[in-house]
Structure 1
């Protein structure tokens, strides 16, 4: 799913994205109404059949969550192609998916979506773009629909192991691409946060339902972590975050589960209180873990306590980014509605009466976000495809102090502390990584790194900030030398 005005609440109608939000995943073509989409799909109406994908469920705790997911799907499936490009679909959901056709530009990477074969639900697994050329295979309790490989290179890519070296460039004193590695099954989903590097140089990257560990110093694959299946079904990872000491990794899933892992022993040490929806972002404050969901709930968790939920906050919009400031005094939450909220460190008390200290607004979702390590009151945010603005905010006054128009979708953002620069990952038109110099009165690009053929969804840096790691929708992981 692309970024922007994603999901605000279950009560929003499927056409909401089209009217208000630019980043709903259909920004390269024209819109087709949801009513027309429903006419293309024919479902049996037997009382024993599972509910149709566009039929929200309204009762019970799990059904309320399921209703939210279904509304999300309906919003994402506003198809873009002219009616002539679509074939009438009969024979249930699988036949309908085979009938979809979207016009893809050469910039589009292979795309994925998955069908949960229990309950008749469509589970979002990245962009819900589908093509005429669809193949189905059974695995791990889900039926996956992926774009068929059309070239020998695509076939080889599908069979590669994670972090297989695809290309190695000679290191240059001027910086640039150092190495290109494989990241098969990386979900093309703007709202995920699935790449992080620990203080020890251990890279964690979620590929579908697995988290792969890679040592950036030895450049060796260390192993993988598998979140516990729910009801026998594996669940895709939507967010992850290393603890400050690099010993523990927290993993959030699309089904709302939050798990704490001992990485050295590769053991799941605790299952923390879960959300009712996708865990969009995670952030540590010393021994305290904060998690945010796309239903707008923030949980503050102390894994050492018998009852780990020690505080909470509620906002109306879905949370797509969450980060504690370097001094652990402030928590920033970015929403799908373009609101950037700053919360104080007092996490206790009633959840519904707690208010943010400051609220700032930008035209698109606040997914690309990061506190400046050496100017603690300042935070950077990146705008989406119809915005494309890089902004530096003063969180005390709530004002934008610097900005620069990138003419590009900003998908990810990281500060390189020891290099005193800001790094952004972009989507269309060039899928580049850009390094920025920021002073008190200026924000300007220093260099532009190109090589990805899909939008740069995630960024991380090694502990000494000499290298940047990027994971993109082209299912490649790149190392860039700064």
Structure 2
């Protein structure tokens, strides 16, 4: 397949229209010339049907993804940084850490879900668990964690129980049936007065904190695996739909209504992660685009949206889902972690000089 690269393109070559008729000579399906030699009756409808199927199969092999061709001008300079740990050190958890880890704001401790049915807090200075406690049931598993502040940790488990703990893991509030099934995501708003939870029951529920009182809920057609609050607009929540519904919806939690919905970007895709840049409030979306023949295989695409339907940058580098996007250097560095076992660290604004001059936009 021939391709051309436009001088303003980045990462994605500009593809020219491809004629797939060239493969018809070696087709396993009969064409008009073959049929004429074998039979007096020619079923042209079946011949055209077989040829179309063959061309579609060939197209799927050569171009398996419905790639979106974009012109990036001027290009935002994503650069891969060489990175090595400043201080090498390892700790043993005896393989007890299960589904989730969440750093505390001070960067010295993190909460972890432990096997069996426990919650713990790890201190990186002493390199050990400083406290741990049981969850609700013998076969319970912690699936999501969120620090509201330095003395308040919210947890969700596979039984749909939502709990609030102090920093030393004393339970202060509990909602027994917060969700009908596992709570897979917890995200807190910028003013720390609201949290959003999503579960495998296809619901997103907004809660008031510290009361842990339900505010309102939304039911979706598929599981919502990604949640993100705007960095300074406390009422704006982004949700990413799951399997084959790869699009983002923005909600105003004050009015309980959706603000705008993204048009489907990729076919057979899901949104695995959402995060707003804390400086510019650009929304970074991680899509997993499944292969048409095998939904368990595909590629990860990371897109930067300046608004809900305008992509300003896009990365095609991971060969699997990208469930984690993490910020560093106050939003100037982005890390993408994929199921292909690759960790990539990117300079989000290009050179350090450009990033240093950026100031946070203020709401009018």
Q: Same fold (TM over 0.5)?
A: yes
Match of 1:450 in 2: 316
The structure whose Rg is larger is 2
Q: Does 1:176 align with 2:45?
A: no
Query: Matched residues in 2 for 1:373 and 1:399: separation?
Result: 19
* Aligned-residue offset at 1:255: 3.5
Query: Matched residues in 2 for 1:424 and 1:468: separation?
Result: 12
Match of 2:338 in 1: 472
Kept in 1, the 8 Å contact 2:223–2:243? The answer is: no
Q: Does 1:437 align with 2:299?
A: no
* Aligned-residue offset at 1:329: 0.5
Match of 1:337 in 2: 201
Question: How many correspondences in the alignment?
Answer: 261
Query: Any runs of at least 4 consecutive aligned residues in structure 1 with deviations exceeding 4 A, and if so which?
Result: none
Match of 2:90 in 1: 224
Kept in 2, the 8 Å contact 1:415–1:423? The answer is: yes
Kept in 1, the 8 Å contact 2:76–2:313? The answer is: no
Match of 1:422 in 2: 283
Match of 2:211 in 1: 347
RMSD: 2.5
Match of 1:91 in 2: none
Kept in 2, the 8 Å contact 1:272–1:303? The answer is: no
Kept in 1, the 8 Å contact 2:246–2:287? The answer is: no
Measured at CA, do residues 450 and 402 of structure 1 come closer, stay the same or move farther in structure 2, by a change above 3 Å? same
Query: Matched residues in 1 for 2:228 and 2:92: separation?
Result: 28
Q: Secondary structure at the match of 1:464?
A: helix
* Aligned-residue offset at 1:383: 1.1
Measured at CA, do residues 427 and 339 of structure 1 come closer, stay the same or move farther in structure 2, by a change above 3 Å? same
Q: Secondary structure at the match of 1:312?
A: strand
Choose the corresponding residue for 1:298, options 162, 167, 186.
162
Kept in 2, the 8 Å contact 1:358–1:396? The answer is: no
Query: Matched residues in 2 for 1:267 and 1:401: separation?
Result: 45
1:421-466 Cα shifts (integer Å, max 9, x gaps): 111112124411111113xxx5422111111111112111113211
Match of 2:133 in 1: 272
1:92-118 Cα shifts (integer Å, max 9, x gaps): xxxxxxxxxxxxx99xxxxxxxxxxxx
Match of 1:377 in 2: 235
Q: Does 1:324 align with 2:188?
A: yes
* Aligned-residue offset at 1:472: 0.7
* Aligned-residue offset at 1:470: 1.0
* Aligned-residue offset at 1:406: 2.4
Match of 2:148 in 1: 285
* Aligned-residue offset at 1:337: 2.2
Give the TM-score, by structure 2 length. Answer: 0.66
Choose the corresponding residue for 1:402, options 253, 260, 263.
260
Measured at CA, do residues 221 and 402 of structure 1 come closer, stay the same or move farther in structure 2, by a change above 3 Å? farther
Match of 2:173 in 1: 311
* Aligned-residue offset at 1:236: 4.4
Query: Matched residues in 2 for 1:345 and 1:264: separation?
Result: 30
Structure 1, unaligned stretches of length 5 or more?
A: 1-104, 107-172, 181-215, 349-354
Q: Does 1:245 align with 2:106?
A: yes
Greater RCO (Cα-Cα under 8 Å, separation 6 or more)? 1
Structure 2, unaligned stretches of length 5 or more?
A: 1-60, 63-74, 291-298, 349-364
Query: Matched residues in 1 for 2:112 and 2:214: separation?
Result: 26
1:170-212 Cα shifts (integer Å, max 9, x gaps): xxx83235048xxxxxxxxxxxxxxxxxxxxxxxxxxxxxxxx
1:381-403 Cα shifts (integer Å, max 9, x gaps): 11113111111111122211122
Where do 1:257-268 residues align within 5 Å?
A: 257-268=118-129
* Aligned-residue offset at 1:219: 4.2
* Aligned-residue offset at 1:262: 1.1
1:239-271 Cα shifts (integer Å, max 9, x gaps): 111111212111113633211011123221111
Query: Matched residues in 2 for 1:293 and 1:238: separation?
Result: 10
Where do 1:154-165 residues align within 5 Å?
A: none
Give the TM-score, by structure 1 length. Answer: 0.51
